Amino acid sequence: MTNPTITQPPILEARSISHYYGGTAALTDVSITIQPGQIHCVLGDNGAGKSTLIKILSGLLQPTAGQLRLDGQPVVFTNPRAALDAGIATVYQDLATVPLMPVWRNFFLGRELTRGRGPARRLDRPAMRQIVRRQLADLGLNLRDVDQPIGTLSGGERQCVAIARAIDGGARALILDEPTAALGVKQSEVVLRYIRRARDRGLGLILITHNPQHAWPVGDRFLLLNHGQLVDDRTKNDVTVAELATLMAGGVIHLSDSPGESLTVEAGDL
């Protein structure tokens, strides 16, 4: 796993971001930092503000207040293309794949490799197939045939293709929107393994989820949102999966400031 030095600026940083829909606050004073080689998990139930945060980081929305910084410098993403060009890629739940197309065609959809010029120009199918096999193998997925329709893959395998596609497209930071939401236990474990491998390649990742059992095994840092507000932000050493689940439920956790000492804190007070 990549360990960024303390002098290395974050890939992307949101500072005191707020966003309002009319008079309704969707996010209030939320900050998050994406470091290379780190998985930052954002947890929260429906309506917590996760979707709004994704849209701001990916260029779909402009924050009402606050600032984004890219490599330590202020930045404004006017649209998703601008964010993607800066190396900030988002993998949504629907994955944006065409089920009947082969895996390799989905992988390069919209950015196909070609060879030749003029009337002789054609798709470089061998090169694209080779790149897809290599990128998927680097994440631990060895497909029998990259010519098979992507719709024949399992949900976990399709997630891996989407992650590998973003990496091949030049992503330095990946925002993953509920990647395990529609998956069973086994497939969720597969996807979480792919996510760890992406982190080990030096990418910065934001894992959006409502499931602390999926977040805790892979996360390095955990940010909890509730009604658009930051409830808690901790490193893995500072929280257990049971405490994350308690916080998600709005319950009580016990914090220890020193050996033999404990402090009871309401989740809403953090």
Q: What is the average per-residue pLDDT within 113-130?
A: 89
In this predicted structure, the answer to whether residue 152 has a pLDDT above a threshold of 90 is: yes
Whole-angstrom CA distances from 141 to 17, 25, 39, 100 are: 37, 42, 20, 20
In this predicted structure, the answer to whether residue 131 has a pLDDT above a threshold of 80 is: yes
Q: What is the average per-residue pLDDT within 60-85?
A: 94
| Tens digits of residue pLDDT in 196-214 | 999 998 999 999 998 888 8
- CA-wise closest residue to 106 among 51, 166, 59, 63: 166
Q: What is the average per-residue pLDDT within 63-74?
A: 94
Q: What is the average per-residue pLDDT within 21-37?
A: 92
Q: Which residue has the tokens 């914090």?
A: 255
Predicted pLDDT at 7: 59
| Tens digits of residue pLDDT in 211-227 | 888 899 999 999 999 99
Q: Which residue has the tokens 């601008």?
A: 82
Q: Is 70 helix (H, G, I), strand (E, B) or coil?
A: strand
Q: How far is CA 139 from the centre of its chain?
A: 15
In this predicted structure, the answer to whether residue 263 has a pLDDT above a threshold of 60 is: no
Domains and CATH numbers, the chain: 12-269 (3.40.50.300)
Burial 37-58 (b: 16+ CB within 10 A, else e): bbbbbbbbeeebbbbbbbbbbb
Does 266 or 204 have the greater pLDDT score?
204
Q: Is 145 helix (H, G, I), strand (E, B) or coil?
A: coil
Predicted pLDDT at 250: 67
Predicted pLDDT at 188: 87
Predicted pLDDT at 6: 46
Give the contacts of 167 (CB within 8 A, at least 6 positions apart): 135, 139, 174, 198, 201, 203
Q: What is the average per-residue pLDDT within 62-67?
A: 94
Mean residue pLDDT of the chain comes to 86
Residue 14, classified by CB atoms within 10 Å of its CB into exposed (0-12), middle (13-18) or buried (19+), is buried
Q: How many CA atoms lie within 13 A of 265 on its CB side?
A: 15
Burial 189-204 (b: 16+ CB within 10 A, else e): ebbbbbbbbbbeeebb
Whole-angstrom CA distances from 241 to 33, 197, 208, 215, 236 are: 21, 21, 16, 8, 9
Q: What is the average per-residue pLDDT within 56-62?
A: 94
Strand partners, 4: none
Rounded to 5°, the CA angle 213-248-218 comes to 30
> Is 20 in contact with 56 (CB distance < 8 Å)?
no
Read off the pLDDT band of 28 (50, 70, 90): very high
> How far apart are alpha carbons 134 and 266 in whole angstroms?
48
In this predicted structure, the answer to whether residue 119 has a pLDDT above a threshold of 90 is: no
Q: What is the pTM of this model?
A: 0.83
Predicted pLDDT at 27: 95
Please give the DSSP secondary-structure letter assigned to residue 102: B
Predicted pLDDT at 187: 86
Of all residues in the chain, the percent with pLDDT exceeding 70 is 90
Q: What is the average per-residue pLDDT within 224-237?
A: 90
Predicted pLDDT at 264: 34
In this predicted structure, the answer to whether residue 142 has a pLDDT above a threshold of 90 is: no
- CA-wise closest residue to 229 among 48, 102, 101: 48
Strand 263-266 and strand 252-255: the pairing is antiparallel
Q: What is the average per-residue pLDDT within 11-37?
A: 93
